Chain A
Amino acid sequence: MSLRVFDGFKFKKLNTPIHKMDPRAKFMFIIVIFALSLLFTNLIGLTILFLIQLPLILLAKCGKKWLKTMKGTAFFAILIFIMNFITGSSFAFSLAMTIRFLTLVSSFSLFFMTTSPDDLGLALEQMKIPYPLVFTFTTAVRLVPTIAIDAQTVIDAQKSRGLELEKGNLIKRVKNFIPILIPLIVSAIRRSMELAEALESRGFNASKKRESYITLKFSKLDYITLILTILLLIFGIYIKLYVSLPQIDLPIKFPTISFYKTFLKS
């Protein structure tokens, strides 16, 4: 699993209806998908929840990146499947658990790819979280790609001085990270100092009363989404309680110990 999987959680500014939506409405939707996917263990139910997201991902023009994320988490997905299957669960159940995992990853990926940290910060602010906390959060998010670039530069600089990160035993490899970590940390600290200086110079924390220049307002689309989300939740709960979904399964079961015993006896 390479670092590329994080691409699927990185915000990119695009002009799609999903991008323009209020983060609070999007977040409600994600939470409901999350809740429903935990509620259901049925393969068909979970598959439907997974498939609901696909048109949204396409609408948000994030198809390629989403695929990369799926590829990146394939390792864990397969692991989950195997863990369930080996411990005796049916094929259908194991598959369902894998799909549940992928649904969760997809929904959060979709949220973060279409919501800018600034908007997220505004949403948190309007939910009455103290401004300095919100600012810390959005700044941290903003700095992640910057620090990633710094990290690459440090690695390049040290490689250019003959540092070989791939060679050596475990101890040597760990030691080799010191020339990477220290410059990175020092650069991050210097950067923070500069940011702090600039903040002070722009009157940060000057006034207790802080009115944000831009406020989030629910649009028609947001209200519609909210209503649909609530309906989805109600519908989902109804299905879980009162409707029994068909069980599809494959007649494969992981050989248990007793099976081996009987096999060996004969």
Chain B
Amino acid sequence: MIKVENLRFSYFDKEEVLKGINLEIYEGEFIAIMGENGAGKTTLIKHFNGLLKPSSGRVLVDGIDTRKTSVASLAKLVGLVFQNPDHQLFCETVWDEVAFSLKNFNYSEDVIKARVKKILEILDLTKYSNSSPFTLSGGERKRVALASVLVWDPKYIVLDEPTIGQDYRQKERLRNFILQLVTQGKSVIMVTHDVEFVAECHPRVILLSKGRIVADGPAEEILSNEEFVNECSLELPQISKLMKALKDLGVNQKIIDVYSAKSYLVKMLKR
């Protein structure tokens, strides 16, 4: 479990970015952290692997206090995938790039070989093993960045804006992949403002605004709530807007995704 207790944080002597966050994230949970730009989302997730230490309060990862532990140790539990893969790619081959973290964690050569091979297969990157990561397309580079974090099999996987610039198919693939990870018992935490993507995934949604948590609950509850959504510079999912337009017909207002909408409407129409 990741436990956040009364977390307050400000950079140097500037204004407070996080104003008292209390949060519990359990194993095997799928969470979307959403909120307007500047709400503190990225600042919050950087506390999970110790990149940032609390100004006051504390963050415990499986009982370990992040204030007293190095980023390298915490990284073994919490894998953080940054938004822009170009901020981390530097190796001559995709293979080396993915193996980099395992070398840092001092795994043996045999284990490295096995794990890198496996993750490249899972993410459909085997054909690029010997290619330079710089020659790949944007979407492929994002997959390499993801592979280079998943390769050490962290318990908690944190994704910062994983859907920006991705086309529909890439997002579908990502969604299925995340759901697979969750079934395997991993916790997946994603920071995003892609409302439609979240609506189709049904994670637990935590809404951050101006450094505070304003809402925490299932996606259907949070994303169909106009007040919450407006406070955080988000929009209601399209399906939700449709349901709202038909409110007077007594339609269920908590439906946010296409599949549920279809099932519900088919039932209603067949009556």
* Residues in A lying within 8 Å of B, measured CB to CB: 150, 153-154, 156-164, 178-179, 181-183, 186-187, 190
Contact = CB atoms under 8 A, between A and B. Distances in A.
B134 A186 contact: yes
Interface string B64-85: 0000001110011001101010
Interface residues of B, number: 25
Nearest to B51: A156
Interface string B158-202: 000000000000000000000000000000000000000000000
Contacts of A186: 86, 89-90, 134
Contact of B89 (A153, A160, A183): A183
Among A156, A182, A183, A186, max chain B CB count under 10 A is at A156
B104 interface: yes
Contact of A190 (B82, B86, B148): B86
A169 to B, nearest CB: 16
A158 B89 CA distance: 9
Contact of A162 (B51, B72, B82): B72
A161 B86 contact: no
A160 B149 CA distance: 9
Contact of A159 (B71, B100, B134, B148): B71
B96 to A, nearest CB: 11
B82 A153 contact: yes
Interface of B: 46, 49, 51, 70-72, 75-76, 79-80, 82, 84, 86-90, 100-101, 104-105, 134, 148-149, 152
A179 B90 contact: yes
B104 A161 contact: yes
A100 to B, nearest CB: 31
Contact of A160 (B51, B105, B134): B51
Among B70, B87, B152, max chain A CB count under 10 A is at B87
A7 to B, nearest CB: 10
B144 to A, nearest CB: 12
Given A150-B87, A161-B149, 19 more contacts: A153-B84, A154-B87, A156-B51, A156-B82, A157-B88, A160-B49, A160-B82, A160-B149, A162-B105, A164-B72, A164-B104, A179-B88, A179-B90, A179-B100, A183-B86, A186-B89, A186-B90, A186-B134, A190-B86
Contacts of A159: 51, 71-72, 75
Contacts of B100: 161, 179
A157 B87 CA distance: 7
A161 B134 contact: no
Contacts of B86: 183, 186-187, 190
A198 to B, nearest CB: 18
B105 A158 contact: no
B87 A161 contact: no
A47 to B, nearest CB: 30
A158 to B, nearest CB: 6
